[in-house]
Structure 1
Amino acid sequence: MNANDRSIIALVTTGHGLVHTYELSIPIFMTVWLAELGMAEATLGAIVGSGYFLFGAGALPGGILVDRFGARRLIAGGLVGMGGAFVLLGLLPGVWGLGTALLAWGAAASVYHPAGLALISTGVRRRGRALAYHGIAGNVGIAGGPLVTALLLLALDWATVAMLLGLPALVAAVAAWRASVDETAAVGTHGATGKDASSPSSEKEGLAVLGTETRHLFASGFAGVFVLVALSGLYYRGVLTFLPDLLTPLVTVDLPIDVSTGRYVYAGLLAVGIAGQYVGGRLSDQDGTERVLAGALVALAGLAAVFLPVAERGTGALLVVSAGLGFVLFLVQPLYQATVAEYTPPGTRGLSYGYTYLAIFGIGAAGAALAGALLQAAGPSLLFGVLAGIALLGAGLSAWLAVRRDRWADPDGAGAPSP
């Protein structure tokens, strides 16, 4: 990797780790807010849910802004917003202050994924390796953020902890703003389909241009990738949302303290995902990521089908199947991120990742509601069966994209569907 690659990787790994640190620290704070602020669970759930909704819904406008103002600037602005929101979280009193801070965090955090992934796809020549490091940093935030928050809460009040957590993002924002990187250094090196690096959005403005660019994206193989990513998001939220509660009764080891043992297995599962992210990133350096992604989704379907029967055989079997689930669940992420890059032109890469994360966090969020409804109606067996079906649909779609890849990638017909 050259100096530009290393600078971009340092920027995006810092941003990605912080995004997920904040995202997963919020549930830890919720346990304190319920006790100290006297809030009903439904009220707090609605407030926190609103912030998470903006985290997903803001990805699309975030992607549009990336194409107009550049990824580095958007990352710096998002870091300012996230850090500032957590400082406000500690300073603003009451329910309204809490809601304001969380909404601000969701809006600021939403720009990161389209900006960070667009920067990797157009600026880093060793894209697969960069995606691997990027994913690892996200997993460090996912696994480490809640742990750091919980440890700080042992010694400090929650408002002070929130303000302390906000400071690293503000420091990182200064570094991001001052960083000097070439955002287009890798354009043309990864075989992305479509137009060249000059985006029409830099020459025209308005909703008409957005509509044109959107039609251009969805009249290509990206339409299939969008559905594929949405299915992946449904599986992700569906399997993870209630998993700590589902795991606890399956753990047969007696501990000397009364704890929810499923939380520790869950944390371990997320930690194993770091290895999955790295392997997936290395695999995404190969041509034809659709075939690898199809195989990974078949593996996810198989894991969903056997998860409960294997887990019920004892704690050892539970740990093995949980590790397998964590590894493959996070292995698919760099694969579909690379696939998005292969099916979209560089000039609208930010917009494409905006739609991508709208699918993952927006449409995918329905996986949580689906999981709750299925668990209430029929229990875990039906939930894991439906998740297996979702993964198989994704595998079939990925295989279809692989078969049609040569037609979609035809430079004479890039961006238009083949008959």
Structure 2
Amino acid sequence: MQNGNVQTAEAANPPLDRAPLNRDWRIIGLIGTGHFLSHFYMLCLAPLFPLWREEFGVSYAVLGLSVALMSGVTALLQTPVGFLVDRHGARPFLVGGTLIMALSISAMALAPNYWVILGLAILSGVGNSVIHPADYAILGSSIGEKRMGRAFAMHTFTGNLGFAAAPLVLGMMTQGLGLGWRPTLLALGLLGVPVVAAILLQSRILQDQARPKKGKTPVGREVLLSRTMLMFFAFFLLSSMAGVGIQSFLIATLDRLWGTPLAVASLALTGYVAGATSGVLLGGWYADRHSRHFTFVTGLTTLSVMLFLAIGLVPLPDAVLPFVAFVAGGALGASRTPRDVMVKNAAPPGQMGKVFGFISSGLPLGGAITPVPFGMMLDHGVPWLVLPTVAALLVASLFCAGTARGGALRAAGRVAPAPLPAE
């Protein structure tokens, strides 16, 4: 009788290595949809700035505070939320965070003035701070190892789609359909309600991390301040700085360097973004089939470095430039999923929330650091420094990844820990 009960329980919730394909993709779909909304909401305010400026009579600098506060609060709270996720489980935080994030956007439709919108932007950032630590904790605990790379890839891919969709959807609703910004935000915010309902209805397939045994693994700040995690944080930070430098300044740099026509430079940036987004899926496929993740990341990042240097040092033909940018973006995008898997392997048991919360906070921090120094290069007449600086940041990120690699391999059980010195 006891054996029968064990078999029944195992059939209902099979081990991850025997988890059915359809269950894994249901989990990926649920988490990916929430991640799409997270990125969508982060970028849905900026397209409304002209309308808000006219209605509320505030400057663009003040309008920019809404996006800055939402992003800043998200980055600041990710690590503390990661501790809570590891302690109490990811599912309630995912549900609550998604609901807060969505309803805050909807509530902006009722705002009597812009200062209320700023307060709601902060509240939405609080909800958004839950997404990365909760998502990665659930994916790492719920998805079979054979599909972990594709799960992480789809997570990144859906977030990128959210960024891409926000300006388009806002433009269609406010300009194409003639809706005011208030009905638009109300409708878009309420999209989060059915997503939360779906997560609740399917919550039984979302597994939380196993709790680590006391005294068996490092905990708390000891984990995050380890050399491995600090190097992974620096890896994410430097990669983000390089990516933001390309996305924000490629068009201006090409104009200053070679007098590239705006249409061609814009097409080159579009090629880079398309390559980075689609390359993520290739990286997920590779991560599930091969174990040499660091070699893959090194090779592709090196290819990107060479291509960015070529764009910055050689006047490429207009017909070739978008293709080169697409390949450079694709190489960087494909390197992201193996990078995430390396971090997952390095995270001690039961501590994926705090690890990903801390390390992924390097992404928005990189976005905050980059614009001013790159803008100064253009303002001071040295545009030739922009793309070599991007290349240098990518090379430095590889150094950080290599330093962290030993810890990732030890966490995955492929390298024995270094022996303690004899006393």
Indicate the TM-score class for this superposition, using the shorter chain for normalisation.
0.7 to 0.9
Aligned with 2:95 (options 48, 67, 76): 76
- How many angstroms does 1:242 deviate by? 3.4
For 1:156 and 1:418, the matched residues in 2 are separated by 67
Tell whether 2:245 aligns with 1:238. yes
- How many angstroms does 1:27 deviate by? 2.0
Aligned with 1:117 (options 114, 126, 136): 136
Partners of 1:139 and 1:273 within 8 A in 2: no
Tell whether 2:299 aligns with 1:295. yes
2:16 alignment counterpart: none
Which sections of structure 2, spanning at least 5 residues, go unmatched? 1-19
For 1:377 and 1:330, the matched residues in 2 are separated by 31
Tell whether 2:261 aligns with 1:252. yes
In structure 2, the CA distance between the partners of 1:20 and 1:271, relative to structure 1 (3 Å rule), is: farther
Tell whether 2:103 aligns with 1:94. no
Aligned residues between the structures:
394
1:148-198 superposed Cα distances (whole Å, 9 cap, x missing partner): 11111111111221111112112101111222344448x7xxxxxxxxx32
For 1:45 and 1:417, the matched residues in 2 are separated by 53
For 1:143 and 1:412, the matched residues in 2 are separated by 41
Q: Which amino acid aligns with 1:180?
A: S
Q: Moved runs in structure 1, 4+ residues, more than 6 A? A: 416-419
2:198 alignment counterpart: 175
Aligned with 1:283 (options 266, 271, 286): 286
Q: Which has the larger radius of gyration?
A: 2
Which sections of structure 1, spanning at least 5 residues, go unmatched? 188-196, 205-210, 255-260
- How many angstroms does 1:341 deviate by? 0.3
- How many angstroms does 1:339 deviate by? 1.2
- How many angstroms does 1:215 deviate by? 0.8
In structure 2, the CA distance between the partners of 1:60 and 1:253, relative to structure 1 (3 Å rule), is: closer
Aligned with 1:229 (options 221, 225, 236): 236
1:19 alignment counterpart: 38
- How many angstroms does 1:299 deviate by? 2.4
Normalising to structure 1: TM-score of the pair? 0.84
For 2:199 and 2:82, the matched residues in 1 are separated by 18
Partners of 1:82 and 1:104 within 8 A in 2: yes
For 1:332 and 1:288, the matched residues in 2 are separated by 12
- How many angstroms does 1:411 deviate by? 8.0
For 1:266 and 1:109, the matched residues in 2 are separated by 28
2:167 alignment counterpart: 146
Tell whether 2:51 aligns with 1:48. no
Residues 380-419 of structure 1 aligned to structure 2 (within 5 Å): 380-402=383-405
- How many angstroms does 1:134 deviate by? 1.8
Partners of 2:39 and 2:163 within 8 A in 1: yes
For 1:284 and 1:417, the matched residues in 2 are separated by 30
For 1:233 and 1:271, the matched residues in 2 are separated by 17
| RMSD, matched Cα | 3.0
For 2:404 and 2:295, the matched residues in 1 are separated by 9
1:214 alignment counterpart: 221
- How many angstroms does 1:264 deviate by? 6.3
Aligned with 1:32 (options 51, 70, 81): 51
For 1:36 and 1:417, the matched residues in 2 are separated by 67
Residues 127-206 of structure 1 aligned to structure 2 (within 5 Å): 127-154=148-175, 155-184=178-207, 197-199=210-212
Range with greater deviation from structure 2 (84-93 or 36-45): 36-45
